């Protein structure tokens, strides 16, 4: 097996690291707060990185990633791989990859889709940016922690794919929820609405796989009182990353901007932070035209 350092053992990192241990790899972890069972923990990020073939980071944001990279890069062996699986801004991903290269290391940005359930089951999707050689080193680890890994391009391409995907997700969820609320007020039965849309041109993952209406379609957080799932405040984080990126490259993303504003209102003014992002349906149902 490989010698792996794993920094950031929270909701996602802990089960990902557990799957690497179960597959026979030697994992040394570090986290400033979490103390997960079954992972050998180091006293510092640098200690966890020392002598590792691969150091995986799974951290909250780009600022923390940049700080941790400063700590681990000097400790890593020449030619070792820094594999960042956090969701961060494209600029931070590229900056960290450049610093790694300057230090004689390899780097891959590989944010994930699939949530805590996917991390636990080892069925995440990885979207990766970096050289073909670096992707090849990470691939056996992707195969343990996930079911699909797409090499999207050079450094930053993984983060770019992630925020584009999640911008579509935020927009289609809102569109699906406002359409259900309109259907309610038109007296249209929700099951009929689902049966039509899920097999018509309005279909999407938000309708078909994660239906925001309780009791309709496959089981989803709507059937569990809108407990996350995928919390609205995490959706907001990803939408804001999409808008930061859009601004930086002068891309016109009006639907993404509206979705960001609606989730910001939901999270910051309407107690939506800890609710699933599909709780936009009761939000729209209870509102009037403004």
Task: Name the residues that contact ligand NAD, by CB under 6 A.
Answer: 7-13, 30-34, 45, 58-60, 64, 67-68, 86-87, 112, 115-116, 230, 234
Question: From the CB of 231, what's the least distance to ligand NAD, in Å?
Answer: 8
Minimum distance from CB of 144 to ligand NAD (Å)?
Answer: 17
Cα(164)–Cα(30) distance, integer angstroms: 30
Name which of 157, 216, 220 is nearest 190 in CA terms.
216
User: Which residue in 98, 71, 235, 212 sits closest to 155, CA to CA?
Assistant: 98
Q: Which CB atom, from 53 or from 89, has the smaller least distance to ligand NAD? A: 89
Region of 51 (left: φ > 0; alpha: ψ -120 to 50; beta: rest) is left
Least distance CB 214 / ligand NAD (angstroms): 21
Minimum separation from the CB atom of position 116 to ligand NAD (A): 5
In whole angstroms, what is the distance from residue 270 CA to residue 279 CA? 11
Comparison of 64 and 144: residue with beta carbon closer to ligand NAD: 64
With respect to ligand NAD, which residue has the nearer C-beta, 36 or 214? 36
* List 99, 139, 162, 227, catalytic entry: 162
Which residue number has the CB closest to ligand NAD?
10
Closest CA to 68 of 84, 90, 80: 84
Nearer of residues 88 and 213 to ligand NAD, judged by Cβ:
88
Residue 185 annotated as catalytic: no
Which residues are known catalytic residues? 162
């Amino acid at each position: 097996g490989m010698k792996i350092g794993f920094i950031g053992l929270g909701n996602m990192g802990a089960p990902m690291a557990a799957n690497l241990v179960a597959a026979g790899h030697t994992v040394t972890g570090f986290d400033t707060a979490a103390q997960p069972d079954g992972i050998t923990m180091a006293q510092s990020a640098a200690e966890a990185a020392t002598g590792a073939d691969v150091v995986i980071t799974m951290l909250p944001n780009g600022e923390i990633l940049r700080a941790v990279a400063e700590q681990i890069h000097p400790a890593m062996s020449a030619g070792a791989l820094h594999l960042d699986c956090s969701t961060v801004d494209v600029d931070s991903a590229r900056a960290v990859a450049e610093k790694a290269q300057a230090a004689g290391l390899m780097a891959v940005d590989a944010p994930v889709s699939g949530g805590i359930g996917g991390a636990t089951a080892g069925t995440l999707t990885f979207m990766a940016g970096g050289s073909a050689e670096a992707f090849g080193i990470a691939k056996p680890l992707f195969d343990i922690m996930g079911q699909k890994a797409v090499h999207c391009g050079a450094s930053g391409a993984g983060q770019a794919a992630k925020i584009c995907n999640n911008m579509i997700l935020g927009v289609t969820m809102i569109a699906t929820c406002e359409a259900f609320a309109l259907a309610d007020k038109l007296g249209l039965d929700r099951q009929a609405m689902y049966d039509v849309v899920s097999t018509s041109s309005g279909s999407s993952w938000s309708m078909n796989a994660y239906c925001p209406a309780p009791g309709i379609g496959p089981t989803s957080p709507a059937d569990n009182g809108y407990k996350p799932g995928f919390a609205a405040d995490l959706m907001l984080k990803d939408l804001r990353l999409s808008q930061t990126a859009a601004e930086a490259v002068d891309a016109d993303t009006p639907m993404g901007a509206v979705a960001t504003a609606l989730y910001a209102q939901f999270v910051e003014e309407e107690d939506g932070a800890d609710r699933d992002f599909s709780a936009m349906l009761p939000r729209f149902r209870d509102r009037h035209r403004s």
